[in-house]
Amino acid sequence: MLLKQLNKICNTLAFRLTFMYAAIFFMSTFVALFVVYLLSSSIILKLTDQELLKEHKEFSSLYKQNGLAAIINAAAIEAESEGPERMFYRIFSKSGKELGASDLSAWGDLNPNRTGLQQLGEKDNLIFLSLDIPKHPHDTRIMNAYIEPDLILQIGVSLEENAHFLGAFRKIFAISMISVLLIAAGVGWFLAKRALVGVEEVTRAAIQISGGTLDLRVPIKARGNEIEELAQTFNQMLDRIQTLLTEVREITDNIAHDLKSPVTRMRGIAELTLNSSTSDKSSKSLAANIVEDCDRLLQMINTMLDISEAEAGAAKLNLEKADIATIIQEAIELFEPSAEEKGLTVSSKIPENCYARIDIQAFQRMVVNLLDNAFKYTPSSGTITIAVKNSESKVDIVIQDTGIGISQEDLPHIFKRLYRCDKSRSQAGFGLGLSLAQAIARSHGGGITAESLPGNGSTFTITLPHLTL
């Protein structure tokens, strides 16, 4: 369940925009800080080299004034004051012979060739190199430079302080990047949601409209961006669709209304023929068929007109306090003979008292229509379950069967007028029962939802709000 929710979030446009914003901001900051790190490392190394050059200048001046013994003595004193493990001095002849040195006990192997002494030449009289000396905890910066044409000064200094500084910088770098990532994600999410707020409004409106609220429109906030243009176009499309649907419904209602009178007259004439003593047997048989067909047509026309009135809000509901549990139980009893005949098992979970303000006759028609479908499309030895769930804000009436089910292609259309699934065409009916049930539920401020899988039965849920009693 959690993985599905995470996958759903990861597939949203808001998440992808957030990831993109955060990635760009994170990488930009990372590159900037990395460049600063490299520059800082280079600057610190240059400052170290400048200190070594300063030492070289002082030793050169001392040599000119006091000779070799003076600089050997000064090297020992200087190394002792700085710390023998942090700095060393060595003096070599041009041939590579060591003439003097400070305390080297903390430095291990300092082979002259390895420390770059032989790299000095006629053109390169000063070189710097960084060296990893075995058994020494930190890298060492070494300078080799001529004091005189036949005398070389070698100074080595531990880069411990540089390492501490850069280590602290790396920690700050890591903490900064984590903070930047969190901030970038937060800011990116805010910007993404702000950018998509118009799309979300259009989506919410589309969902509600798909449920039948055709008079709903997306609010226009005059931001002047592409989302507002989309909302305006969406609203214009809805206006056109609603106009077309209204015209189609009016035509259908007018046709139904106009058909009612001639069909009634036709039925009356057939009924007179049926009751006439002068009619022969074949005429009476034909008249009986006409009466039956006219009754079916009148029932269909009246149902369509009832749906139109309910959908238009013109139906006069006689709302009164009633125990819907009792009404549902009575409706179930009506189908008991059919259940016994087909060998169906009927179970109910209905509380003793469940009061609401309803139009009793309309409520009965809605429940009976849904129960009729359940009994009609559930084969022998099947099960039908009716449950009533009462909460503080609403009442849910759940009718579940183990019938033939409804395909996913048909499910979104079953509440449309005259729509019949392929499997239901063999059963008697007009395709108006579910449309009427939904219209009645909506006229009470509620609705009906359906869940089904072919071969696994269907579940219809009537949801009614608790009207003030």
Strand pairing class (140-148; 151-158): antiparallel
> The tokens 């930047």 sit on which residue?
180
Q: In whole angstroms, what is the distance from residue 72 CA to residue 90 CA?
A: 8
Burial 253-292 (b: 16+ CB within 10 A, else e): beebeeebeebeebbeebeebbeeeeeeeeeeeebeebbe
Place of tokens 């118009």: 198
Q: What is the pLDDT of residues 182-236, one digit of tens each?
A: 888 888 788 777 777 777 777 777 776 665 566 677 777 665 566 677 777 777 8
Mean pLDDT of all residues belonging to the chain = 79
Asked if residue 430 has pLDDT above 70, the reply is no
Q: 3-class DSSP state for residue 270?
A: helix
Q: What does the buried/exposed string (b/e) look like for 198-217 if buried means 16 or more CB atoms within 10 Å of the residue's CB?
A: beebbeebeeebeeeeeebb
Residue 184 confidence (pLDDT): 82
Condensed to tens digits (0 to 9), the pLDDT of residues 79-90 reads 888 888 889 999
Q: What is the pLDDT of residues 157-170, one digit of tens each?
A: 988 888 888 888 88
Name the DSSP class of 343: T
Q: Residues 1-19: what's their mean pLDDT?
A: 70
Out of 1.10.287, 3.30.70, 3.40.50, 1.10.4160, the CATH code matching 226-312 is 1.10.287
179: amino acid identity, one letter: S
* Token reading at 252: 């259908």
Does residue 261 register a pLDDT over 70? no
User: Which comes out higher in pLDDT, residue 227 or 463?
Assistant: 463
> pLDDT tens digit string along 64-81?
898 888 888 988 888 888
CA distance linking residue 86 with residue 160, whole number of Å? 8
Label residue 5 exposed, middle or buried (CB < 10 Å: 0-12, 13-18, 19+): exposed
Q: Which residue has the tokens 């759940």?
A: 398
* Beta-carbon count within 10 A of 395 CB: 21
Residue 164 is predicted with a pLDDT of 87
Residue 158: which of 184, 143, 173, 139 has the closest Cα?
A: 139
pLDDT exceeds cutoff 50 at 173: yes
pLDDT recorded at residue 425: 45
Percent of the chain whose pLDDT exceeds 70: 77
Helix (H, G, I), strand (E, B) or coil at 354: coil
Alpha-carbon distance of 177 to 193, in angstroms, equals 24
More confident residue, 140 or 297: 140
Question: Angle of helix 160-210 relative to helix 13-66, nearest 10 degrees?
Answer: 170
Tokens 């009135």 -> residue: 309
If you average pLDDT over residues 10-28, what whole number do you get? 78
Half-sphere exposure of 426 (CA within 13 A, CB side): 4
Judged by average pLDDT, the poorest of 48-62, 106-120, 213-227, 386-400 is 213-227
pTM of the model: 0.47
Give the tokens for residue 92: 């070599």
The pLDDT value recorded for residue 248 is 62
d(CA 469, CA 451): 31
pLDDT digits (tens, 9 = 90+) for 375-427: 888 888 888 999 988 887 788 889 999 888 888 888 888 887 777 765 554 45
* Beta strand spans in 117-254 (E): 126-131, 140-148, 151-158
Q: Could you tell me the residue ranges of all domains in the chain?
A: 40-164, 226-312, 319-465
Q: HSE (CB half, 13 Å, CA atoms) of 385?
A: 10
Per-residue pLDDT, averaged over 133-156, amounts to 86
Mean pLDDT within 245-273: 66
Q: Determine the pLDDT at residue 423.
A: 54
Rounded-to-integer distance, Cα 317 and Cα 464, Å:
15
CATH architecture group of domain 40-164: 2-Layer Sandwich (3.30)
Most confident listed range (20-24, 69-73, 120-124): 69-73
Average pLDDT rounded to a whole number, residues 123-141 = 82
Amino acid letter, residue 410: D
Architecture of the 319-465 domain: 2-Layer Sandwich (3.30)
